[in-house]
Amino acid sequence: MPWTGLCRLSNLGYAPLNIMAFIELDHVDKGFGPVWNRSEVLSDLNLQVERGEFVALIGYSGSGKTTLMSLLAGLLRPDRGEVRIGGKVVDGPGYDRAVVFQNYSLLPWLTVAENVALAVDEVFRDFSREQRQEHVAKYVGMVNLTPAMDKRPSELSGGMRQRVSVARALATQPDILLLDEPLSALDALTRANLQDEINRICQEEKKTVILITNDPDEAILLADRVIPISAGPKATLGASIPVNVPRPRTRKDINSCPIFKRTRNQVIQYLVQSSSGKKVEISKKLTMPDLLPEDLSVARPMFGGKARPRRRSEQKRETVEVVS
Ligand X SMILES: Nc1ncnc2c1ncn2[C@@H]1O[C@H](COP(=O)(O)OP(=O)(O)O)[C@@H](O)[C@H]1O
For another protein, the binding residues (CB under 8 A) are: 70, 73, 75, 92-95, 97-99, 101, 103-105, 107, 109, 118-119, 122-123, 172
Residue 70 near Mg ion by CB under 5 A: no
Residue 273 near Mg ion by CB under 5 A: no
The answer to whether 158 and 130 have CB atoms below 8 angstroms apart is no
Residue 43: CB minimum distance to ligand X, A: 12
Helix (H, G, I), strand (E, B) or coil at 100: strand
Contact partner at residue 230 from Mg ion, another protein, ligand X, none, CB < 5 to 8 Å by partner kind: none
Contact partner at residue 67 from ligand X, another protein, Mg ion, none, CB < 5 to 8 Å by partner kind: ligand X
| Number of other CB atoms surrounding residue 296 within 10 Å | 7
C-beta of 3 vs 32, nearer to ligand X: 32
Contact partner at residue 109 from Mg ion, ligand X, another protein, none, CB < 5 to 8 Å by partner kind: another protein
Residue 214: CB minimum distance to ligand X, A: 8
Cα–Cα distance measured from residue 33 to residue 39, given in angstroms and rounded to the nearest whole number = 6
Using CB atoms, what's the residue nearest to Mg ion? 66
Of residues 97-116, those binding Mg ion (CB under 5 A)? 102
C-beta of 102 vs 273, nearer to ligand X: 102
Instruction: Give the bridge partners for 237, in sequence order.
Output: 229
C-beta of 10 vs 213, nearer to ligand X: 213
Residue 269 near Mg ion by CB under 5 A: no
Residue 66 near Mg ion by CB under 5 A: yes
Q: Where are the alpha helices (DSSP H) in the chain?
A: 2-12, 65-73, 112-123, 129-142, 158-171, 188-205, 216-222, 251-256, 258-279, 281-286, 312-323
Residue 67: CB minimum distance to Mg ion, A: 8
Residue 99: CB minimum distance to another protein, A: 5
Residue 41: CB minimum distance to ligand X, A: 4
Name the DSSP letter for residue 82.
Answer: E
Give the interface with ligand X as residue ranges (CB under 6 A): 32-33, 41, 59, 61-67
Q: What dihedral do alpha carbons 234, 17, 69, 311 form, nearest 10°?
A: -50
Residue 31 to residues 44, 102, 272, Cα–Cα distance (Å):
11, 20, 23
Residue 202: CB minimum distance to another protein, A: 20
Cα–Cα distance measured from residue 184 to residue 189, given in angstroms and rounded to the nearest whole number = 12
Strands 80-85, 23-32: parallel, antiparallel or unpaired by DSSP? antiparallel
Contact partner at residue 101 from another protein, Mg ion, ligand X, none, CB < 5 to 8 Å by partner kind: another protein
C-beta of 54 vs 104, nearer to another protein: 104
C-beta of 99 vs 143, nearer to another protein: 99
The answer to whether 153 and 115 have CB atoms below 8 angstroms apart is yes
C-beta of 140 vs 227, nearer to another protein: 140
Contact partner at residue 41 from another protein, Mg ion, ligand X, none, CB < 5 to 8 Å by partner kind: ligand X
The answer to whether 125 and 135 have CB atoms below 8 angstroms apart is no
C-beta of 83 vs 143, nearer to ligand X: 83
Contact partner at residue 98 from Mg ion, ligand X, another protein, none, CB < 5 to 8 Å by partner kind: another protein
CB-count exposure of residue 217 (10 Å: 0-12, 13-18, 19+) = middle
CB-count exposure of residue 177 (10 Å: 0-12, 13-18, 19+) = buried
